[in-house]
Structure 1
Amino acid sequence: MTGPPPGPADMVLIPTGLRFHGRRLPCVIGRGGVTARKREGDGATPRGHHRIVGMLYRPDRMARPTDWALPIRPGDLWSDDPAHADYNLMVRAPCPHGHEVLRRADPLYDLVILTDWNWPYPVKGRGSAIFVHRWRRPGHPTAGCVALRPDHLAWLARRIQYRTRLVVP
């Protein structure tokens, strides 16, 4: 794993959760565990130091969590099709290629913290976005993202900054 050692501004994955600002927040990771060889569709959380590069939120469901958070609008999607030119980028509907809907019916993506995993110049097949978002329930793994309880995610969102990293040892 490259990068400077974790600092006080970093979120660090530990065996019992995510450590940030002296707190331990229970979390879940990808069903494939942690990997140093991330591939699209493997369900794993990639090892590394991942910078926070943005935050998205549903303005119809919550107040803006920070002044730099951007609203998720109807038609916002995330491309997860390695064959498409917009792979691992936010796109707009209609999109005939593989994608995830960001404005979901369930609350999973009401608040999304974006990391720089395989971004902004994605390597095809290396895996699309790694988000920090709300969990479905305790112990239920993600497709590779890190997920937290809604109140912990909101607490975290109000405190992170652009210099914050998600550190996955």
Structure 2
Amino acid sequence: MSLIVRRSPLSPLRAILAAGPYRIQCALGRSSTTIFKREGDGATPVAAMPLLSTRHRHKQIYRPRTTLPIKITRPVDGWCDAPQHAAYNRPVRRPFPASNETMVRGDRLYDFVVILDWNFRSRARHRGSAIFFHIAKPDYPPTEGCIAVAPKDMMKIGPLLRSGRRLVVER
């Protein structure tokens, strides 16, 4: 079973996630979706992305039940988004000499994160980094390219998040 993301007919920046019996509203990237993903373009890649692992910010949100590997997010955790660096699109320890995103944010977006295999197992420079499935802001504003759902919905679909499953973003 895959988790299927289809753009909403009402807005190119929102979508409906079909996960088992659930149909869930989600936010997409600020540039909608693309088949030509590039670093910093703000688009969600149209792709079938295997679910790799999760990050959980302990005590910020209840951890959804999932069989995916899970790591507790620490204040030193970051994610490299510098295409020329050897650690591009990899978790890093902060402070880090190249451009990176903190995994411990002031908002709740990364309180629970599913790491997707977008440009991860087989990396290409400038193809995009840090494409995650994570918590949405209230009212579902666009992301920087990720797919985001409400915390209650993440809890609901947690048991469906398993190794071998994919999140499929359709055009």
TM-score normalised by length of structure 2: 0.89
How many residues matched? 161
Deviations 1:10-39 (A, max 9, x none): 110123410001210000100111110000
Match of residue 7 from structure 2: 15
Structure 1 Cα separation of the partners of residues 135 and 156 of structure 2: 12
Contact in 1 for aligned 2:63/2:155 (Cα 8 Å): no
Alignment of 1:1-150 (within 5 A): 9-16=1-8, 17-65=16-64, 66=66, 68-150=69-151
Deviations 1:100-148 (A, max 9, x none): 1001121110000110000123111000021011111224100000001
CA RMSD of aligned residues (A): 1.4
Deviations 1:30-59 (A, max 9, x none): 011111000000000111110000111011
Shift of 1:63: 4.3
Give the partner amino acid of 1:34.
T
> Which moves more between the two structures, 110-119 or 148-157?
148-157
SS of 1:96's equivalent in the other structure is coil
Deviations 1:63-94 (A, max 9, x none): 44335321101200000110111000000011
SS of 1:153's equivalent in the other structure is helix
Contact in 1 for aligned 2:78/2:92 (Cα 8 Å): yes
SS of 1:42's equivalent in the other structure is coil
Contact in 1 for aligned 2:63/2:112 (Cα 8 Å): no
In structure 2, list runs of 5 or more residues that go unmatched: 9-15
Match of residue 166 from structure 2: 165
In structure 1, list runs of 5 or more residues that go unmatched: 1-8
SS of 1:151's equivalent in the other structure is helix
TM-score normalised by length of structure 1: 0.90
